[in-house]
Structure 1
């Protein structure tokens, strides 16, 4: 049987319609709407350059979401492409299991240990953020079993959090809109309130709101029993749940409670790692904490290769290894492609570029400008709030006036703005009543001005359409 290959780089004449039809027939996309997937065509992105991407018809867009929080150094970087190609010719793959390694995996682990705070010096590589979080939880359970505390199994997460889409990590995630017809674990996973200052009680100060959140956490610990709780997991800023920036002192307070009750603190830096907040990792320089474990992915290779990692404290690892190892202490967790040589080559070159080109410093310069420019959008009636930190931001639509939660008309407003953004050449990420933004870290002030200008124009157009429909 001969299979005819139609859509490849060797056949660039394939039309957008043909690509779309093939895709609809054969591909199940993440977060696909199954009601419309068989009939609705997708945007076909075929090229990227800097902070722009191009569709298959040649239309250029400002990529306001960096692919998916990840293309930090921008598109079309020749250096990283050459590093990938060179390593593929030298050693494409060898098993990482047991006592096997490769030079790049060992070097990347050393570099990550240098970049992370405190004694976080032990690295297990994965192939995604979901895998990193999954491995972090498995390590925590292994750890407490190994030291004779098998009752410490329970995990506290937060509403509106996102930690992945594996069986375990989807259960850890707290975005209610994502919970559909799958099954979710609910025996050892618990969710507490997320820090959402915009939706706090009217008249409640940020300081009082922070104490309220800390009090809820401690109440949940006492309800479950500290002796039963293994860990707390948190994104520094809640990403896809709405770019929720916690009040000052939140993470320090939560970490102090974890230390008080012998609960491990996992900081999920899958989105915030590798420069998005102006630092390789935000734990210590931004939030003033040193967690017990850090998870990362996305920006570790700037999306040029799939990779993740969990970075673990020496204090924890040393207690269950060497002379302290329990009987038959095999850590039977990992992946065929853990520490893949090509992926490690991409990560090492990516880190080199970020350091050499002072990209973190650039983010610290343009990030406040980005947030300041977005704040100007709050003059529009359909915008409830703009918020964020450096190159991680969100515009929340609120035409209902509901101070507690978004309503259907707020969601319609955001989708309408998104439609006009797409027409004008700007890709944003709509979620419920939110327009989420995370452009490549190489974006400059000119690009930021263009991005905000398109948003403003789209909000104005959306406002007119919503008025015509009688929604405002």
Structure 2
């Protein structure tokens, strides 16, 4: 069998210059979500420092980060106070776990703080290391709860077909993106999917006043088809993130809540991306007037300064499990890590002190209005909440016809064009949707620059494709 060499070959050095760091990267670091041959051909971008909404690579080039890392650096880069809190906590207590009867002070204080911020009734907190672990924990708790209530077959989790919940095996099973799932089966059984409340491309559009009820009815149909006694929970993002920043009709989640209550199905909301001010409020679910039974968080909980996630759980859920005296056989070595929890407390203090959720709401409106004012012929819709904004890219704005994907989708050309202009931006993986999610501290001048770059690049790439036929 022919051996494929990935990474630098002859002449590889082990010195300390920046070119050598790129060589070390290719030789030893496995990157997330890549094709190895393509990465070896294109090379890597090593980031060395960051401040506010700007990052710099090892070659000294600056980028305006309109993706906030992986949609998590809510308080912005370069917050020295968070580093100081981490250092102080490391000196006092650098680690202790939360297994059995043990805990540590930062974990206890953060749990109490999150309970005080949570929608009413979510008074219990379990810590994880990130979003996928939060989702898998919520699924396990939901299944345990149904068994505690005497529903021994209540294990199925209904999810949305454009929802994204992570790349671990359980979270991937909740995610329907085929390209993510294709090579990793068999996946975890018991996950089923229904159409997402997509009013741009879905069967029920934004001009239909009954769209929210109709999309929710698909959930009820699936619960009945599966058998209500077999369904543990409905899992969804209140605003779908990776799927294209899909904002559901205002009444959708209220109908969902009613249906879940009708059949004894728990509602799990994945606020990993939307939480901590990203969507313009502390939690996105409050904008839709809904309280879930369990809520998953991560990302903005620490703004990426350290790994941490959490599941906020309804008191009634834990009470049912306790009443049945079922054991909670679940945990992680680093759950409730004291340094991460201390940093999360200070991160939340910054969010509150500087009013960053409210700022996200204001700046998001400025961004949407400015994009719409450009009247770009290749943008059919601009939507979003807070600094979670999407622009739908099309060939024809009136008919919403997309450019044919061919060898390379339009969105990838737009992404590359923005990068050449010094802007890192997000795109949906499976549709021509631009996703704009900068740090919540982004300035008005930086918003204006983003709009200039997006408008120019989208026009250039759209015109080029039209000329090519």
In structure 1, distance between residues paired with 2:174 and 2:402: 22
Which structure 2 residues correspond to residues 378-393 of structure 1 after superposition, within 5 A? 379-393=375-389
In structure 2, distance between residues paired with 1:203 and 1:349: 42
In structure 2, distance between residues paired with 1:388 and 1:175: 22
Residue matched to 2:405: 408
In structure 1, distance between residues paired with 2:152 and 2:37: 44
Residues 332, 63 of structure 1: CA spacing in aligned structure 2 closer, same or farther, 3 A cutoff?
same
Cα deviation, residue 114, structure 1: 0.3
Residue matched to 1:215: 217
Task: Determine if the alignment matches structure 1 residue 349 to structure 2 residue 346.
Answer: yes
Pick which of 100-109 and 365-374 moved more.
Answer: 365-374
Cα deviation, residue 369, structure 1: 1.2
TM-score by length of 1: 0.92
Equivalent residues of 1:122, 1:311 under 8 A apart: yes
Residues 138, 365 of structure 1: CA spacing in aligned structure 2 closer, same or farther, 3 A cutoff?
same
Equivalent residues of 1:125, 1:309 under 8 A apart: yes
Cα deviation, residue 403, structure 1: 5.0
Cα deviation, residue 289, structure 1: 0.5
In structure 2, distance between residues paired with 1:273 and 1:292: 16
Cα deviation, residue 174, structure 1: 1.8
Residue matched to 2:178: 176
Pick which of 67-76 and 353-362 moved more.
Answer: 353-362
Cα deviation, residue 263, structure 1: 0.4
**Deviations 1:162-207, CA, capped at 9 Å, x for gaps:** 0011111101012233222111436411100011111144877332
Residues 184, 35 of structure 1: CA spacing in aligned structure 2 closer, same or farther, 3 A cutoff?
farther
The CA RMSD measured in Å over matched residues stands at: 2.1
**Deviations 1:399-436, CA, capped at 9 Å, x for gaps:** 27875877415962211111111011110013341221
Which structure 2 residues correspond to residues 11-26 of structure 1 after superposition, within 5 A? 14-15=17-18, 17-26=19-28
Residue matched to 1:297: 298
**Deviations 1:73-119, CA, capped at 9 Å, x for gaps:** 00000111110111111111112211111000000000000000111
Residues 207, 177 of structure 1: CA spacing in aligned structure 2 closer, same or farther, 3 A cutoff?
farther
The DSSP-based 3-state class of the residue aligned with 2:209 is helix
**Deviations 1:224-269, CA, capped at 9 Å, x for gaps:** 1111100000101100110011012011111110011110000100
**Deviations 1:338-385, CA, capped at 9 Å, x for gaps:** 0001100110000011111111222222221122122235x3333232
Equivalent residues of 1:399, 1:410 under 8 A apart: no
Residue matched to 1:250: 252
1:144 to 127, 143, 146: 146
In structure 2, distance between residues paired with 1:88 and 1:6: 32
TM-score by length of 2: 0.92
**Deviations 1:261-286, CA, capped at 9 Å, x for gaps:** 110000100001000122221222x0
The DSSP-based 3-state class of the residue aligned with 1:435 is strand
Tell me, which stretches of 5 or more residues in structure 2 are unaligned? 1-12
Aligned residue pairs total: 455
Residue matched to 2:425: 428
The DSSP-based 3-state class of the residue aligned with 1:240 is coil
Tell me, which stretches of 5 or more residues in structure 1 are unaligned? none
